[in-house]
Amino acid sequence: MFEQLHDTLNVYLIPFVIAVPIAIVLLLAARREEQPAEPSAPVRAPVPQPGSARVLVVDDSAVARAKLRKLFEGAGYLVETATDGNEALDVLNRTRFEVLVTDLEMPNMNGIELIAAVQGNMDTEDLPIVAITGHDELHARVHDCQGLYGIFKKPWNDRELLKRIEALAALRAARAA
């Protein structure tokens, strides 16, 4: 009888002793993955210094202009704004920018026309341009534009947009040096 009990324990106890710790480890690992990640710190850049990168934001929406201005200034960029393509061209004639961020749907001169005008001008043809749109049909049309360095759909992801602007501003500054 003792021998039969010993055989039964060997058949059931040994796999149990091996399987339970493995199951516990797997369960703890799964719970660790389910826990939400700690929120990351906001992206911060130094306060703008004279000669800092300049960004021109063009959008007919005052809300969008204000949000983009706050985002870029908070990251250390010098920001100017325009309400349409015509106003943007006037600003571009007066000031050198590292990056142009433009909405596509605007009155007077839309973003696609602005992009063509900027790329057709010898003084601004190498200006990196990022397009922002809230309309799917314009998002599809903008792929026909050459030389765009990004297309962001409204609402945009702040972190991704800032990373793109940072890279483009650095590229433009390196070309100028």
Average pLDDT over residues 129-148: 70
Q: Report whether 129 contacts 108 (CB < 8 A).
A: no
- Contact (Cβ atoms closer than 8 angstroms) between residue 99 and residue 169: yes
Tens of pLDDT along 15-73? Answer: 555 555 565 656 566 665 555 544 454 554 444 444 589 999 999 999 999 999 999 99
117-137 average pLDDT score: 88
Instruction: Please report which helix (H) or strand (E) contains residue 8, including its range.
Output: helix 2-34
Q: Number of helices (H) and strands (E), helices first, in the chain?
A: 6, 5
Q: Does domain 54-176 have CATH number 3.30.465.10?
A: no
| Coil/strand/helix, residue 140 | helix
Q: Do the beta carbons of residue 85 and residue 109 sit within 8 Å?
A: yes
- Per-residue pLDDT band at 148 (split at 50, 70, 90): confident
Domain boundaries along the sequence of the chain: 1-37, 54-176
Strands 78-82 and 148-153: unpaired
The pTM for the full model equals 0.69
Amino acid 52: pLDDT:
82
Least-confidence region, from 155-159, 160-164, 169-173? 169-173
